A and B are shown apart, each in its own frame.
Chain A
Amino acid sequence: MSEFEPKIVGFFCNWCTFTAADLAGTSRLSYPPNIKIIRMMCSGMVDPKYVIKAFLNGADGVLIGGCWPGDCHYINGNLKARRRVAMLTEILKQYGIDEQRFWLRWIAASEGTMLQELANEMTAKLKQLGPGPLNKEKTAG
């Protein structure tokens, strides 16, 4: 059986992390294709519903990418995102969705290399953890 390839849903802020992904691309930095990117206007726009829906539909991990504190295009959307993630993590934990599957990270527009590293790191971590609790494909035997 082929190796388990985790599916990660990435909610990336248009101004920082998404631009960093663009930069990684134009710099020809390759990173694992496991992350399916959804472009958001701000990490603060990521409704907890989106994350819950992703997990319920079998995502193995969710990554929210936002601007570093102080750099938010909308002044403080990322700080609101951080509180929301802290709250949602507590809910998911109770129902068996490990906090190691749900990441919030700050990646600035200039940090294409960091995006590459992060994609590698998260993919490796999820491979180690195995399929998410609701992944119906369960490709890892």
Chain B
Amino acid sequence: MANFTKLSFKKGELNRELADFFKSMIEKGAVHALLAPMTQPEKGVMQTLVTDPSNIENIDPFAPVVPVNGAKIASSVTATPSGRKIAMVLRSCEVRALVELVKLKQANLDDVLLIGIDCFGRYENLDFFKFQEQGKTSEDFLENAAAGNTQNNDFDISAACKICEFPVPDNVDLRLCVIGTGSDAVYIESLTPKGDKALEILGLSTGDSPGSRDSEVEKLTKKRTEARDKAFAEYRESTNSIQALEKRLAGCINCYNCRVACPVCYCKECVFVTDTFRHNGDQYMGWADNSGTLKMPTDTTFYHLTRMSHMSLFCVGCGQCTSACPNSIDLMPVFRTVAQKTQGRFDYQAGRAFDEEQPLAVFNSDELVEVTGQVK
């Protein structure tokens, strides 16, 4: 496939080259706005919505941090479309979550040029601050990660990223490739007519794919998949009862951060903050009477199991739930292992395709006969 445009950069100038690329995208009218990770004036890197191209110089899409899953931000910007064309720079986990939100009609890609980036993983938010304070750059990270080393002193990429088998984003118009491209070039790959058109407006010609890309991607995917299977097997064995789950969730204080951080927790109002779960004093007393004791806050395990029944079919394994927990409960495997089973039951994979119907949105009269085992 000859759909690659090479963007060479000198050491230390990756972000400047990318800034020029995105600047011309707005200046030449391919899009009106850009949503991409940018260095913030004080510290950190956050998704930033830019309409004036002169502000693009702070762009840093490969910064190894994802403070918020970008699918949520894409949903905020597009659920009620502005009518203006926008380019969005997202990672695989963000794109896959976004695919699910599009199906739920909580995001709309009609005016969006979706740009995915190759991803070696992200640091936890606080670790990324340390990374920045040490004066490290995204280029440093990419160079080390390409050599298989993501460890930085006392921290490494998040546990979710270590077992993420999707380093390369699909379902995008353009892809910024850094895996197997060498340390002095980014390749821009066009995957759709929308992407072709954008490159045409920018006056960029396309050529062949970087030589070792496919094998490098395959190698990384294989390594991650093996790590995933190992982690899942360990989790399933150690957490195979409600009691074991309760032990794992022991620190839960019903803050609901995990569902706020979750890109595919789709309810506009969570049932756990409605009157359904606002009980009277005598109700609590009654429950306490049952066995003489009642752990407060109540319904923590109930909450997580209910959340599984809502979002596990759409879970993309981004790990934001773990990152958001104030009590360091490692929630990612709790949801991901179940997600693998529930999605598998319907041969579904969250974020795989726009035209794959969400399992609970369709039904047939002659399917799943094994559930009841009854035939008339």
The interface of chain A, by Cβ under 8 A from chain B, is 48-49, 52-53, 55-56, 68-70, 76, 79-80, 82-91, 93-97, 103-106, 133-134, 136
Contact = CB atoms under 8 A, between A and B. Distances in A.
Interface string B291-319: 10000000001100110110011000000
A106 B374 contact: yes
Interface of B: 236, 239-245, 271, 291, 301-302, 305-306, 308-309, 312-313, 337-338, 341-342, 344-346, 359-360, 363-368, 371-372, 374, 376
A86 B371 contact: yes
A91 B309 contact: yes
A90 B342 contact: yes
Nearest to B243: A133
A68 B376 contact: yes
A129 to B, nearest CB: 15
Contacts of B337: 94
Contact of A95 (B241, B302, B342, B376): B241
A83 B369 CA distance: 10
Contacts of A91: 305, 308-309, 312, 338, 341-342
Contacts of B240: 94-96
B363 A76 contact: yes
A48 B306 contact: yes
Contact of B306 (A49, A68, A86, A96): A49
Contacts of A85: 371
Name the residue in B239, B302, B308 with the highest tally of chain A Cβ atoms < 10 Å from its Cβ.
B308
A69 B306 contact: no
Contacts of A69: 365-366
16 contacts: A56-B301, A68-B376, A79-B365, A82-B371, A83-B363, A86-B345, A87-B359, A88-B309, A90-B342, A94-B239, A94-B338, A95-B239, A95-B305, A96-B244, A97-B242, A106-B372
Contacts of A76: 363, 365
Name the residue in B240, B337, B342, B371 with the highest tally of chain A Cβ atoms < 10 Å from its Cβ.
B371
Contacts of A105: 372, 374
A69 B375 CA distance: 10
A60 to B, nearest CB: 13
Nearest to B287: A57
A87 to B, nearest CB: 5
A96 B306 CA distance: 16
B314 to A, nearest CB: 12
Contacts of A133: 241-243
A87 B305 contact: no
A80 B360 contact: yes
Contacts of A56: 242, 301-302, 305
Nearest to B240: A96
B34 to A, nearest CB: 38
A90 B291 CA distance: 30
A22 B337 CA distance: 42
- 3 smallest CB-CB distances across A and B, nearest first, come from A96-B241, A48-B309, A79-B363
A70 to B, nearest CB: 6
Contact of A49 (B271, B342, B363): B271
A87 B372 contact: no
Contact of A90 (B239, B305, B306, B341): B341
Nearest to A77: B363
Given A97-B242, A104-B372, A87 B306 contact: no
A87 B242 contact: no
A52 B291 CA distance: 19
A55 B364 CA distance: 28
Contacts of A95: 239-242, 244-245, 305
Nearest to B301: A56
B363 to A, nearest CB: 4
B302 A52 contact: yes
A52 to B, nearest CB: 5
Contacts of B342: 87, 90-91
Contacts of B301: 56
A91 B291 CA distance: 27
Given A87-B313, A91-B338, 13 more contacts: A52-B306, A53-B302, A76-B363, A80-B360, A82-B368, A83-B346, A85-B371, A87-B342, A94-B240, A94-B338, A95-B245, A105-B372, A106-B374
